[in-house]
Structure 1
C-alpha cells in the first residue's frame, strides 16, 4: 500500500500527465479536422484532469481494490479524464467516430447515454480508452482514460446536478429529482430542435 505522503500514481504520475497532454493535443486535432471538413465549429471546449489523490484513494477503497499505484492505473479506469463539449448532437458522434479511428487508441468500454439516458436524466457519451504509455515510469505500458463527449446543454445540466447532489440535508429530495429529470428532458428536446434547425440551414436533412 502507498503511504499517504506518496503520490497514489507513484513513478507514473509524470507519464500520466504527459499522456493526458498528448491526448488533449489529439482532441484539438480532431476538432480542427472536423471544422475544416464541415466548415463549422464542432467543439465548444475541452477539459482535462488527472484524478485527485483523495478521490482516487477513496475509489480504490470503495471498489475493494488495494489502495496502490497498480490499482490506480490498471484497475480504476479514469485516472485520466477528458471532457469534450460539443455544439450539437451530431458533433458528438463525429468526435466519437474520430476517436475510434485514432491509431494507438483502443476502446475498452463504450456507453451511449445520449440515446439511452440514465434514469435521472443524465446524458453523455462515455468511452474508456486504453492508450500507450510512451513516457515510462515502470513496467506498465498503457494507461486508461475516461472520455466524456456531450453537448453544451448536457454539460450544463450535469454540472448543476453534480453541485446540487453533493449538498447536505436537502428537503423535498424526491421532488427535486423529478424536477431535475424534467429539466434534463426539456434540454434534450431543445438539443434535438437545435440540431434540426442546423440541418435545415446546412441542408444535411436532404442527404
Structure 2
C-alpha cells in the first residue's frame, strides 16, 4: 500500500490540465473498512493536502457521526476522490474531476484493501462511475433508493454548503438516510452509538 500511495502522490498524468499543478490527495490503508469516494479536492484541500479539510468535510463528518480523529484514521476510513487533484474552476463551481484518475488508480487501491465493507459514493460523478446502469433518473432518486445499493454501496449527495437548498427541499434525507448511514458506519468501524 505504501508503494501504491507513493505512486499516486507522484502522478503527473494530467498535469497539463491542472491550473494549480498536480497534488494528488488520497488517504488509504490496507486495513480500511469504509471508503468514501468524493469528487476532487477544492482549492483549500489542494493547499493543505488534507482530504475533506473544508466545510463540506465538516458536514460529511456530521452525517457520519464521527470525530475528526476517527474520520482521519486511515485504518478505518479511506478517502479517495474520483479525481485526485484540484481540476480548476468552472462557471458553477469547480470543474468535474479529471477522468484519468479513477480508471488508473481505483482498482489498484481496492485490491490493496481486502477488508472494505462499505463504499460511500458522494455525488453524481462517483455514482455514475460505480453504479453505472443501476442509478435512478437523478441524484435525488438514487439517494432516496439507497437501500437498493446496500450492502456494498451507499450513495449520498455532496455535503457542500451549496447544497443547503437540496437538503431543505428533501428533509427525508437527514431524517432517514443520515441515521442509517451513521448506524452502518459505526457498526463497521466499531464505534459505540
Name the TM-score, length of structure 1 as normaliser.
0.29
Structure ranking higher on relative contact order (CA contacts 8 Å, 6+ apart): 2
Name the TM-score, length of structure 2 as normaliser.
0.30
Structure number with greater Rg is 1
